[in-house]
Amino acid sequence: MDFCNERIVVTGGAGFLGKHLCAELMRNGAREENLLIPKIEDYDLTQQADVVRMYDEMNPTVVIHLAAEVGGIGANRDNPGRFFYANLAMGLHLIEQARLRLSKKLKKFVQVGTICAYPKFTPVPFKEDDLWNGYPEETNAPYGIAKKALLVMLQAYRRQYGLNGIFLLPVNLYGPGDNFDLHTSHVIPALIRKFIEAKRRGEKNVICWGTGGASREFFYVEDCAHGITLATQKYNDSDPVNLGAGFEITIRDLAEKIKTLTGFAGTIEWDASKPDGQPRRCLDVTRAKERFGFEASVPFDEGLRRTIDWYVAQETS
């Protein structure tokens, strides 16, 4: 696919991943005037009428659907119904309207899913073929199942209508521009903010959720943007594809690493009354390499340094 000739709608394009993706698309030939971002102030993508209007006004040839209502463990626990409805409704309307526009030169639909769709006790590393072998971790199951339903929809629409829809499963993202709100953020930005604020206030300890024993894989946002771009250009199959860095670290070790990189001199206390979430997360990323040549390139410590530096710069500007 030659991006120079495409009108590309990026839902969520003004968000964390979306900004990096739009920059990566332009580096790969997309013209800025043909990168179209439906802003939430103008289009409520959970509403069919707004989605119809978006397609009519933007007339895309490619849709990359990033937009989601999502957060960390606390936000998922507080909003299970909303997260299920909003994420399913957005995808449902966007895919159906894409199908109705196949005769109007719509070439491709790219759905960005979530590894919250995987079963709670998936063997590590997670392989795409294990996606249906159990129920997701309870705190984020509504969000994960809503996204997984869109995989089924795309596969069904490919078979019946010929819609070229692909489904990507990125692991936990981090990087410059992330959400650092302590209630809705994921673990890396939350820890960075906690340690920096504790250091600034001269506090002697930082309290972290859970036991620290769960493990996670973390994926630098610019690597993810590159992976989505490659898949949009080169991948045209119904099989879901993991996007990740292919390593895992315990939350305890992660906290120690961020403590060191932020220069916090106090101690870490663990609040075991709070949930750990899924016990382990680490992806098998073989399929992405085989199908469209993607491999992550940013070392984890380097990505953390860039993220911390960005946050500090924002706090002091």
Alpha helices in the chain (DSSP H): 16-27, 48-58, 73-78, 80-100, 141-161, 187-201, 221-234, 251-262, 286-292, 300-316
pLDDT computed for residue 315 by the predictor:
85
Tell me the mean pLDDT per 10 residues along the chain, length 317.
95 96 98 97 98 97 94 80 96 98 93 94 95 93 96 98 98 94 86 96 94 95 98 98 95 97 96 85 96 97 98 88
Write down the pTM of the prediction. Answer: 0.93
Q: Which domains does the chain have, with CATH numbers?
A: 3-176+217-247+280-298 (3.40.50.720)
Catalytic residues: 143
218-220/172-174 β-pairing? parallel
Would residue 114 be called left, alpha or beta, if left means φ above 0 and alpha means ψ between -120 and 50 degrees? beta
pLDDT computed for residue 195 by the predictor:
97
The CB density around residue 105, as the number of other CB atoms within 10 Å, is: 11
pLDDT computed for residue 314 by the predictor:
92
CA-based torsion, 89, 90, 91, 94: positive or negative? positive
Burial class (CB in 10 A: 0-12, 13-18, 19+), 301: exposed
Alpha-carbon span 309 to 178, nearest angstrom: 12
The string of DSSP codes covering 205-235 is: EEEEES-S--EE-EEEHHHHHHHHHHHHHH-
- For the chain, what is the total number of helices (H) and then of strands (E)? 10, 12
